[in-house]
């Protein structure tokens, strides 16, 4: 996902429950959503719950079928093509990948704000460990979303006062994990067809597999599926030599490259934080690590100014910023190895991932165990 837009973060932290998909009067609908959210959210203020209900209610109320919307003569041709691509992606996800698509992404909803949500991430200053928020339905998650920037800033200030590094970023999309039929949100149309497809595949996979309390696994594996599915989709739709297929292939290669770099940087910091030196020395030395890391990444991609993750070298760094990347990029090569072992069949890969998720153990370990057993045979 392009850095300038921020990564997609599903607001599973809201823990939506399924309501009857009808259109009651707006105030009644808002009340129903608010009651549902209030009954399952733990540790959230009534204002947070009501605001979430209000914003989700607006999104759902504004839905209109994409097949109808694209017939509007006022819709630009480029937008029509993107909307048709979304419908094709959803069909591919349903029929080829066997994802739990339901009614998601069959509709379109206008969003009357430049940034959909503001995401707060936090981490201790001398540990690469995410601060987590706990919610009844989804367990611990390493982020919390707000519809108002001021609310996100207030939460970040609270955590700063407790001694944490914090980071606030915007998010372009979220998932209700199938509790509602999520529409395509209007501001997603600013992305090209490849990135848009990656987002939709990513979110649809969350509707298929989401493991309570396993935030890094959920996001990393959905990141992998989003990229790999887009590659296969555009190969089938447009051919190996199409511009879209090449962009999808390059995007995944860049994501894995950056994931490897972040893993190296995290290893250096972990070694530093584990040293028997004072906290002040750790804080001083980590700034040197941050500076060297940004310079090294700039050097690596100096001849690739269009690299998707090019902005990393330009942003301020702290542990919270790195935790965001670590959540989305953890062990991407592990999933790639599973894909190769499955005969490069994404469908078979997804089936194993579902089995691993249902095993009840730590999901990354389940995947590693499977790969080790397979190589041993």
Q: What is the pLDDT of residue 49?
A: 64
Q: Is residue 274 part of a domain?
A: no
Q: Is residue 373 part of a domain?
A: no
- Reduce the DSSP state of residue 242 to 3 states and report it: coil
Q: What is the pLDDT of residue 349?
A: 95
- What does the buried/exposed string (b/e) look like for 274-304 if buried means 16 or more CB atoms within 10 Å of the residue's CB? eeeeeeeebeeebeeebeebbeebeeebeee
Q: Quick check: 207 and 228 in contact, CB under 8 A?
A: no
361, burial (CB in 10 Å: exposed 0-12, middle 13-18, buried 19+): exposed
Q: What is the pLDDT of residue 44?
A: 54
Q: Is residue 188 part of a domain?
A: yes
110, burial (CB in 10 Å: exposed 0-12, middle 13-18, buried 19+): middle
- Spell out the SS3 assignment of 48-114: HHHHHHHHHHHHHHCCEEHHHHCCCCCCCHHHHHHHHHHHHHHHHHHHCCCCCCCCCCCEEECCCCC
> CA–CA distance from 142 to each of 158, 213, 222 (Å)?
16, 9, 15
Q: Quick check: 106 and 90 in contact, CB under 8 A?
A: yes
What residues make up the domain containing 234? Answer: 3-246
243's tokens: 């511009």
> CA–CA distance from 8 to each of 168, 170, 200, 203, 283 (Å)?
13, 8, 10, 9, 30
Q: What is the pLDDT of residue 320?
A: 97
Q: How far apart are CA 273 and CA 122, in angstroms?
A: 17
278's tokens: 């004072």
Q: Is residue 365 part of a domain?
A: no
Q: Nearest 5 degrees, angle CA 246-CA 251-CA 255?
A: 150
Number of neighbours of residue 170 by Cβ within 10 angstroms: 18
Q: Is residue 122 part of a domain?
A: yes
Task: For strands 107-109 and 184-185, give the pairing.
Answer: parallel
Q: What is the pTM of this model?
A: 0.85
38 contacts: CB under 8 Å, gap ≥ 6? 46, 49
Q: What is the pLDDT of residue 82?
A: 96
Q: Quick check: 73 and 183 in contact, CB under 8 A?
A: no
Domain tally for the chain? Answer: 1
> Left if phi > 0, otherwise alpha if psi is -120 to 50, otherwise beta: which for 177?
left
**Nearest CA among 176, 183, 192, 234 for reference residue 5:** 192
336's tokens: 């790639």
Q: Is residue 267 part of a domain?
A: no
Q: Is residue 302 part of a domain?
A: no
DSSP H helices, the chain, are 26-40, 46-61, 66-69, 77-95, 149-161, 193-208, 215-238, 243-273, 279-300, 319-329, 332-341, 346-357, 363-376
Q: What is the pLDDT of residue 217?
A: 94
Q: What is the pLDDT of residue 60?
A: 75
Number of neighbours of residue 76 by Cβ within 10 angstroms: 9
pLDDT 10s digit of each residue in the chain, 377 long?
A: 333 334 443 333 333 332 223 334 444 444 444 444 433 344 455 566 666 666 677 777 778 899 998 988 888 999 999 999 999 999 999 999 999 999 999 999 888 777 778 899 999 999 999 999 877 666 788 888 888 889 999 999 999 999 999 999 987 776 777 777 888 888 899 999 999 999 999 999 999 998 888 889 999 999 999 999 999 999 999 999 999 999 999 999 999 999 999 999 999 999 999 999 999 999 999 999 999 999 999 999 999 999 999 999 999 999 999 999 999 999 999 999 999 999 999 999 999 999 888 887 899 999 998 888 887 76
H/E stretch holding 133 reads strand 133-135
Q: What is the pLDDT of residue 51?
A: 67
Q: Is residue 103 part of a domain?
A: yes
Count CA atoms closer than 13 A to 86's CA, side-chain side.
31
Q: How far apart are CA 185 and CA 171, in angstroms?
A: 12
């Amino acid at each position: 996902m392009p850095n300038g837009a921020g990564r997609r973060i599903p607001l599973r932290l809201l823990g939506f429950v399924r309501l009857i998909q009808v259109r009651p009067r707006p105030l009644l609908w808002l009340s129903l959503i608010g009651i549902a959210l209030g009954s399952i959210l733990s540790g959230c203020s009534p204002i947070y719950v009501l605001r979430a209900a209000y914003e989700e209610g607006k999104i759902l109320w504004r839905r209109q079928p994409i097949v109808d919307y694209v017939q509007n003569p006022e819709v630009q041709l480029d937008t029509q093509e993107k909307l048709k691509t979304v419908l094709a992606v959803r069909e591919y996800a349903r029929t080829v990948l066997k994802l739990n698509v339901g009614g998601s992404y069959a509709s379109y909803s206008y969003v009357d704000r430049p940034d959909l949500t503001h995401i707060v991430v936090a981490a201790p200053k001398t540990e690469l460990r995410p601060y987590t928020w706990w919610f009844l339905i989804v367990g611990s998650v390493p982020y919390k979303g707000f519809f108002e920037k001021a609310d996100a800033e207030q939460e970040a200030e609270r955590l700063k006062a407790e001694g944490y590094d914090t980071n606030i970023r915007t998010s372009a999309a979220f998932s209700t994990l199938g509790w509602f039929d999520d529409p395509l949100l209007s501001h997603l149309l600013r992305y090209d067809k490849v990135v848009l497809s990656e987002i939709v595949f990513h979110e649809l996979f969350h509707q298929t597999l989401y493991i309570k309390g396993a935030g890094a696994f959920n996001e990393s594996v959905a990141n992998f599926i989003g990229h790999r599915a887009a590659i296969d989709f555009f190969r089938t739709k447009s051919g190996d030599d199409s511009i879209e297929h090449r962009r999808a292939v390059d995007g995944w290669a860049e994501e894995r490259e950056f994931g490897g770099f972040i893993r190296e940087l995290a290893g250096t910091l972990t070694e530093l934080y584990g040293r028997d030196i004072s906290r002040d020395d750790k804080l001083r030395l980590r700034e040197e690590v941050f500076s060297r890391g940004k310079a090294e990444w700039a050097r690596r991609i100096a001849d690739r100014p269009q690299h998707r993750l090019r902005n990393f070298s330009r942003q301020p760094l702290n542990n919270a910023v790195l935790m965001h990347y670590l959540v989305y990029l953890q062990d991407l090569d592990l999933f790639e190895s599973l894909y190769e072992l499955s005969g490069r069949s994404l469908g078979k890969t997804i089936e194993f991932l579902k089995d691993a998720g249902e095993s009840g153990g730590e999901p990354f370990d389940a995947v590693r165990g499977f790969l080790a057993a397979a190589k041993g045979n």
